[in-house]
Amino acid sequence: MGSDFLCRAETRRVLWVMGGVFAFSLLVQYFELPYGNFIGSLFSGLNSNRMNNNNTQINFTAGFDTKIKSGKPGVELLKPNRTLAPEGAKEFGNILKGHVVPMLEEKNKDDTVPLAANVESAPMIPLAPQIDDNLTASSNLATRSDEVAGIVPLASYVPSAPMIPPAPQVYDNLTAPSSSTTTRNVSASTVPLNSNDTIQLMNSLAPAVSLRHVDDNSTVLSSSRNAYGATPAPTEATGQLRNSLASSGNGYTMTKKTPVAKKESDKLVKGVVSISEMTNMLLQSHQSNLLTNPMWSSAGDEELLSAKSQIEIGANSISDLGLYAPVYHNVSRFKRSYELMEQNLKVYIYKEGKRPVFHQPPLKGIYASEGWFMKQLKASQHFLTNDPNKAHLFYVPFSSQILEQVVYVPGSHSFTNLKAYLKNYLDLIKGRYPFWNRTQGADHFLVACHDWAPEETRYEMANCIKSLCNADLKEGFKFGKDASLPETYIVSADTSRSLGGKRPSQRKFLAFFAGSMHGYVRPILLKHWQNKDPIMKIFGKMHNSDYIRHMKSSKYCICARGHEVNSPRVVEAISYECVPVIISDNFVPPFLETLNWESFAVFVQEEDIPNLKSILESIPLRRYLKLYNNVKKVQQHFLWHPESEKYDTFHMILHSIWYNRVFQIAS
């Protein structure tokens, strides 16, 4: 009897304990405490893993429940859902990391932003809307199966599918306006930004943009600057976000393209990058971080891979007496690459595009480089092909200068119209051809000299090879992908000029500068050196004939940045055999892939302007004579001719684009 009573009492005690635990669990779930969904999130992760194995699409909206206004027009951010437990989210990320993107695990272990991987068993092409010739979007979003049938499966277009807008790219002080507030299902091959990434993105939003006047007929956009005139550097997370977002089809998606390596990113956002550091960063970028895998292979890819191997194992001796070895990083490598370009390169020029923005660039003025390149490429039948299937590169033939003149709304202080115009054009060629989607634009290139070009092309054309005059590390210039375009001020269709100048012994002035007071550097230069020393000829604006005479009579010619990092004085100094002194922090000089700029130019940081004379006087005479001689040797690469000639500016621009494309191809 006693034992039965004790057994019943013990049973009641166990039942009370179990009931209490159950009641407490219900209470926790009711109040949605931070760890309330821990078990559920684990099961969600396991279920998602099984869905991945079945190639089923996953909706990642569970981690976000409301939108937060960012403070900028049209920009909204997703707020993390507080019911998603941190442990559950971490476990869920580990499951994805282990089963969806194993190939990227080692390469991206230090990256803040998770990357998406292409699922080879089910590749998908985001389809662009069909656009007619007048660049107006059609309402019919049809599958272009007739153009890509038999090459790669296409992603279906589901009108009712919810859409998730990606987090806007952040660059320096600007954010991209979001054009949609709907949500999208992300395929199983895509890893979204987590809540920490979103918070970092929110914290990196920066001040608004302002326009400032340049001369009488143009304006320049600049991000807000600090009291010293320097643009605040982006955070590490900002740079990683910027480099991991790319334009694709109907919207931005995370792609397999690897962002700038963390060590390189650190250099980009900390102070001034020296020319030596730039060279090292360029070599590192060609080794790993810009490799691309097209959605389907082509004969052109195999030819580029062959060229890459031949360049890497090129001979150590050359037979071309026209190349002076000391002005190149590796003259044999350049010689071999140039020869392979001449033998193999084929470029397809899109015929679409309404004039004058497309196919009709100006051939005079400060931005004339983009026009002369287009003119001479079209005249060079050797490099052109009418069959896009045989092309290694695709040229987007627009003029950044004409785009600004025709499309920009004066006083609007907005790039919206310019970006929309280019987006409509890209939608047109995406709809008519499969080539953009094959590489996400990595084998497409543009040549643009206007100051606004980096901003106009930052999003939709993010993966393109960009040859830019405004080659600024702080404006998103990417080593190993982009190329620096020499800015050449051309006043007439006759590009000939009185080259050369006086012998070194007859150059009586130590340094010379003259120009309008654009930007923040030139006023500082004049403040310290105008009328301060008889051998330092530092002026404001000057008549052209006096300007050339001073360049031909000076040992060093000061190439100080204006509103942007680039200046036509670099090319002018080389033309008149005056050693260029570049005062423009983080400016990437033209043809850096090939030329050893330290062999024929001097780089002075902006903060060292007060010490300019002592810096130049500290250069020994023997060193100056070498610089002077090397300027003469490199001169051939900075000349335009009515008909292009070997090693001239046209061929050097094309070689930089070719070289960067060759070293983006993954072996």
The average pLDDT across 146-175 equals 35
Residue with tokens 């962002």: 259
For residue 206, is pLDDT > 70? no
Q: Which residue has the higher pLDDT, 187 or 549?
A: 549
Q: Residue 345 — φ and ψ, nearest 5°?
A: -60, 130
3-state secondary structure of 435: helix
User: What gap in Å lies between CA 354 and CA 352, rounded to an integer?
Assistant: 7
Q: What is the pLDDT of residue 262?
A: 35
- How is 193-214 classified by DSSP, letter by letter? --HHHHHHHHHT----EEEEEE
Model confidence band, residue 14 (pLDDT cutoffs 50, 70, 90): confident
Count CB neighbours of 143 within 10 A: 14
pLDDT digits (tens, 9 = 90+) for 222-279: 333 333 233 333 333 333 333 333 332 322 222 223 233 333 333 344 589 999 999 9
Q: Which residue has the higher pLDDT, 34 or 665?
A: 665
Q: What is the pLDDT of residue 18?
A: 83
Report the chain's mean pLDDT, rounded to a whole number: 72
What helix, strand, coil percent values describe the chain, rounded to 5? 40, 15, 45
User: By C-alpha distance, which of 405, 353, 339, 400 is closest to 373?
Assistant: 400
Model confidence band, residue 313 (pLDDT cutoffs 50, 70, 90): confident
The strand ranges marked E within 262-374 are 347-349
- How is 520-541 classified by DSSP, letter by letter? THHHHHHHHHTTT-TTEEE-SS
Q: What is the pLDDT of residue 426?
A: 97
Question: Residues of the chain with pLDDT > 70: what percent?
Answer: 60
Q: What is the pLDDT of residue 429?
A: 97
User: By C-alpha distance, which of 154, 663, 187, 137 is closest to 434?
Assistant: 154
The average pLDDT across 280-292 equals 74
H/E stretch holding 286 reads helix 275-287
Q: Which residue has the higher pLDDT, 563 or 60?
A: 563
For residue 309, is pLDDT > 60? yes
Asked if 229 and 246 touch (Cβ cutoff 8 Å), the reply is: no
Residue with tokens 């084929």: 346
Q: Which residue has the higher pLDDT, 193 or 291?
A: 291
Radius of gyration, CA atoms only, the chain:
29
HSE-CB of 83 using CA atoms within 13 angstroms: 12
The average pLDDT across 569-579 equals 98
452: which DSSP letter? T
Q: Are strands 245-248 and 251-254 parallel, antiparallel or unpaired?
A: antiparallel
Q: What is the pLDDT of residue 288?
A: 58
226: which DSSP letter? -
Q: Which residue has the higher pLDDT, 40 or 641?
A: 641
pLDDT digits (tens, 9 = 90+) for 445-483: 999 999 999 999 999 999 999 999 999 999 999 999 999
Asked if 137 and 427 touch (Cβ cutoff 8 Å), the reply is: yes
Helices 331-344, 649-662: axis angle to 10 degrees equals 90
Model confidence band, residue 162 (pLDDT cutoffs 50, 70, 90): very low
User: What gap in Å lies between CA 298 and CA 185, rounded to an integer?
Assistant: 30
For residue 140, is pLDDT > 50? no
Lowest-pLDDT range of 8-12, 38-42, 382-386, 502-506: 38-42
What residues form DSSP beta bridges with 347?
384, 393
Asked if 487 and 471 touch (Cβ cutoff 8 Å), the reply is: no
pLDDT digits (tens, 9 = 90+) for 594-606: 999 999 999 999 9
Q: Where are the domains of the chain?
A: 269-494+641-666, 504-638
User: By C-alpha distance, which of 147, 210, 139, 114 is closest to 415?
Assistant: 210
pTM of the complete model: 0.63
For residue 406, is pLDDT > 90? yes
Using a 10 angstrom Cβ sphere, with 0-12 exposed, 13-18 middle and 19 or more buried, the burial of residue 537 is buried
Q: What is the pLDDT of residue 167?
A: 39
pLDDT digits (tens, 9 = 90+) for 484-536: 999 999 987 666 668 999 999 999 999 999 999 999 999 999 999 999 999 99
User: What gap in Å lies between CA 6 and CA 1, rounded to an integer?
Assistant: 9
Architecture category of domain 504-638 in CATH: 3-Layer(aba) Sandwich (3.40)
Q: Which residue has the higher pLDDT, 251 or 593?
A: 593
Q: Residue 384 — φ and ψ, nearest 5°?
A: -95, 150
Q: Which residue has the higher pLDDT, 435 or 215?
A: 435
Model confidence band, residue 652 (pLDDT cutoffs 50, 70, 90): very high
User: What gap in Å lies between CA 365 and CA 534, rounded to an integer?
Assistant: 32
The average pLDDT across 610-622 equals 98
Lowest-pLDDT range of 143-152, 161-170, 582-591, 612-621: 143-152
Lowest-pLDDT range of 21-25, 288-292, 440-444, 549-553: 288-292
- Let me know how long the chain is: 667
Q: What is the pLDDT of residue 408?
A: 96
Q: What is the pLDDT of residue 99?
A: 31
The average pLDDT across 289-298 equals 79
pLDDT digits (tens, 9 = 90+) for 90-124: 333 333 333 322 222 233 333 333 323 332 333 33
Query: Cis (ω within 30 of 0) for the bond into 356?
Result: yes
User: What gap in Å lies between CA 632 and CA 366, rounded to an integer?
Assistant: 23
Q: What is the pLDDT of residue 319?
A: 67
